[in-house]
C-alpha cells in the first residue's frame, strides 16, 4: 500500500446542556478552534446538540432530521473550514415518543457522507443507585458503518458500543484504520473503564481510536467523565484531555501505522470458531 500523508486530528470536548442553540454555538466555537490549530478531521462527542435525561423535556420541540437546524450549521462549518467533521451524535425525533442517537459525518464541501445510529443502548444499574435505561427513549441502530474518506477509513461507533469488541473487530476486518468513539461516559464508569476500554480496542485491532467526550456536571444533573483521548494503533496515548473541562486536543494521525501494527500482530486475519466444553465436575 502506498504511503499516505499524515494529518492532524482533533477531539472537541464539551459540556452540553439543555439548549440546542447554545450547544451548537459552543460546538461551532470549538470546531473553529480545532480548525485554527490545523485539524483536517474534527470529532465532537455524543449528544453534541443536547444532554437531557428527562424525556418530556427532551421531546419538547425536538424535531426529526429534516427539521434539525443544527445540521445546516455544522455543514456550513465543515465547508467554511474545509475539514471532515464528525458530529459524534445528535438527538433527533423519529416518532412521537422515540428518538435516535445519530452520528453525522460531513465532508469538506458540507455534504453529509455518513450517518450512524448507536447500536447498543446503555441500559445499566450501577453501584450507588445510578441507573440508565436508554432504550426507553432511543431506538437502536441496525448496521455497522465504515466510511472510506481520502484521509483514512473510519469505523463509526458511539459510547456504550465500546463494550462490544466484536463491532470493532468487524469494522477493522472491513478495513477501518480509525475507530471513532464519541461518548458521554458517566463519571463512575469513566473513572473505572474509559481509558482501559479504548486502549484495548486500539491494541486488539491495530487501529487509531479517536474518542471525544462530554465532561463535567450538566444542566440535567448528570456527571460525565471527560478525558477525551486519541490513541495510536500500538496502544500509545497520543493526546488526552487533562480533566472534564470543554476544550480541544490534537494529534497527528498516520493511517499507514495501522498496517504496520497489523503486520506485526496479524490477529485480525485469524478466525477461530471454538467449541465450548462445559465441564461440571
- Annotated catalytic residues are 46, 118, 159
**Cβ(255)–Cβ(242) under 8 Å?**
no
E-strand ranges in 73-148 read: 84-95, 98-106, 112-117, 123-125, 131-133, 138-139, 145-148
Cβ atoms within 10 Å of 109's Cβ, excluding its own:
10
Between CA 118 and CA 97 the distance in angstroms is: 18
Instruction: List b or e across 94-105, with b for residues whose CB sees 16 or more CB atoms inside 10 angstroms.
Output: eeeeebbbbbbb
Q: Nearest-5° angle of CA 44, CA 90, CA 142?
A: 110
DSSP assignment string, 186-254: BHHHHHHHHHHHHHHHHHHHT-EEEE-BBEEE-TTS-EEE---EEE-TTS-EEEE-SSSSSEEEEEEE-
Instruction: List b or e across 219-241, with b for residues whose CB sees 16 or more CB atoms inside 10 angstroms.
Output: eeebbbbbbbbbbbbebeebbbb
CA 223 → CA 37, 95, 130, 213, 215, distances in Å? 29, 28, 11, 12, 7
Amino acid at each position: 500500500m502506498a504511503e499516505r500523508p499524515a494529518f492532524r486530528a482533533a477531539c472537541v470536548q464539551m459540556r452540553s446542556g439543555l439548549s440546542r442553540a447554545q450547544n451548537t454555538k459552543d460546538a461551532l466555537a470549538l470546531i473553529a478552534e480545532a480548525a485554527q490549530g490545523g485539524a483536517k478531521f474534527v470529532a465532537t462527542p455524543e449528544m453534541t446538540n443536547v444532554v437531557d435525561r428527562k424525556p418530556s423535556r427532551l421531546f419538547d420541540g425536538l424535531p426529526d432530521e429534516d427539521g434539525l437546524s443544527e445540521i445546516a450549521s455544522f455543514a456550513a462549518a465543515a465547508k467554511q473550514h474545509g475539514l471532515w467533521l464528525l458530529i459524534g451524535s445528535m438527538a433527533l425525533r423519529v416518532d412521537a415518543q422515540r428518538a435516535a442517537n445519530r452520528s453525522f459525518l460531513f465532508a469538506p464541501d458540507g455534504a453529509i457522507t455518513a450517518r450512524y445510529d448507536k447500536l447498543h443502548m446503555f441500559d445499566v444499574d450501577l453501584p450507588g443507585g445510578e441507573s440508565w435505561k436508554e432504550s426507553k427513549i432511543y431506538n437502536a441502530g441496525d448496521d455497522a458503518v465504515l466510511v472510506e474518506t481520502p484521509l483514512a477509513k473510519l469505523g463509526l461507533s458511539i459510547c456504550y458500543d465500546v463494550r462490544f469488541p466484536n463491532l470493532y473487530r468487524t469494522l477493522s476486518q472491513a478495513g477501518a484504520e480509525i475507530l471513532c468513539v464519541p461518548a458521554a461516559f458517566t463519571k463512575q464508569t469513566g473513572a473505572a473503564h474509559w481509558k482501559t476500554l479504548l486502549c484495548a480496542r486500539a491494541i486488539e485491532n491495530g487501529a487509531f481510536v479517536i474518542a471525544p467526550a462530554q465532561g463535567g456536571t450538566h444542566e440535567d444533573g448528570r456527571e460525565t467523565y471527560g478525558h477525551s483521548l486519541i490513541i495510536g494503533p500500538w496502544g500509545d496515548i497520543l493526546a488526552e484531555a487533562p480533566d472534564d473541562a470543554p476544550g480541544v486536543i490534537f494529534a497527528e494521525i498516520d493511517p499507514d501505522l495501522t498496517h504496520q501494527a497489523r503486520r506485526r500482530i496479524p490477529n485480525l486475519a485469524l478466525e477461530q470458531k471454538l467449541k465450548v466444553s462445559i465441564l461440571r465436575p
